[in-house]
A = this chain, B = another copy of it.
Amino acid sequence: MVVKIDDVARVAGVSKTTVSRVLNNRGYLSEKTIKKVHDAMESLNYQPNAVARQLYKKETKLVGLIFPTVDNPFFGQLVAELEKRLFDSGFKVLIGNSMNDPAKEEMYLKELISNQVDGLIVGAQNRGIDEYHKANLPVVAIDRVMNEDIPVIASDNYMGGKLATELLINSGAKHIMNTDGPINLETPAHRRRDAYEEVMKSHNMVPHTYLVDFSWDIKKKKQAVKEMFAKYPEMDGIFVTNDMDAALVWRTATELGYKVPDDLKIVGYDGANITRVLLPELTTIEQPVEEMAKMAVSTLITRINGEDTPLEQIVPVKIWHGTSV
């Protein structure tokens, strides 16, 4: 049988109210009582039942995280940083990997709400889901447009796209492509593409964006990349919207006999820890993941405390210079 507050009270020879008081440092307690209670807790190896406390207090100190998957350098690092900061602020983390499946995302959302999380940080995709609204719960989005009243943290996507495209142009590429995710997924990440298109046009070059869906499996992606090479054989530069896809493009290019960067220059986006160890040769736009995590957590906590926060917070990016340009 698991020990509960009454057991501690009995052993210490006090009421459970008193035990609760020492547990929470509340009200007047005599030194002697405090000691007795502590001793009893010690000897019984008492662990308070957080669930009972949660029910009464209507506060769980739980935060839900909904992201596509933790099996990705960027999201893995982001979730790790978020978790660290939340833990330091006294929150535990309930996690959901939505795999870009709106149905799954909705299930997670329901479960998390049912579990009475105090707040949510989401990097999953669907803005259509009413629940986010109905939930009436503090929510912070990372790099996703949720709706008008949910604060968003994003890297400076436009600047990133601009830096990437200019880098390619300045290093001599003439036929520069771009990849982007599905356009019906409303995300600030499309601004990378907007920047690409504008920079291209201002240099009198023709922009071409090729769709690569984040949720495709690796085979399908590789297939798509091959098609792209077939369709645009003159391509000599490409700005890929994330590093994993950029690696795939590089790989495929090599297989097809292209030399990087001589025949093809590649710029990615993300620049997470793992990528910089496994593939530092990839020139990429680096998002300040730590900074973003920090902002997301502090914004969420501010909201949980019922205060207002800015609706959009943009953090600067920088170029990681590899050898792929």
Contacts and interface: CB of A to CB of B under 8 A. Distances in A.
Interface residues of A, number: 54
A70 B48 CA distance: 28
Contact of A97 (B80, B110, B112, B277): B80
B251 A48 contact: no
Interface string A40-66: 000001011111101100001010000
Nearest to A251: B280
A93 B92 contact: no
Contacts of A112: 92
Binding site of A, secondary structure by majority: helix, strand, loop or mixed?
Answer: helix
Interface in A89-143: 92-97, 99, 108, 110-116, 134
Contacts of A84: 97, 99
A77 B76 CA distance: 9
Nearest to A282: B278
A247 B277 contact: yes
Given A83-B97, A277-B218, A60 B71 contact: no
Given A70-B80, A83-B97, 14 more contacts: A47-B110, A47-B114, A50-B114, A51-B51, A51-B115, A51-B116, A70-B83, A71-B272, A73-B278, A80-B97, A84-B97, A244-B277, A251-B277, A274-B274
11 contacts: A62-B94, A69-B80, A70-B70, A70-B76, A71-B272, A76-B76, A80-B97, A93-B96, A94-B94, A278-B278, A279-B279
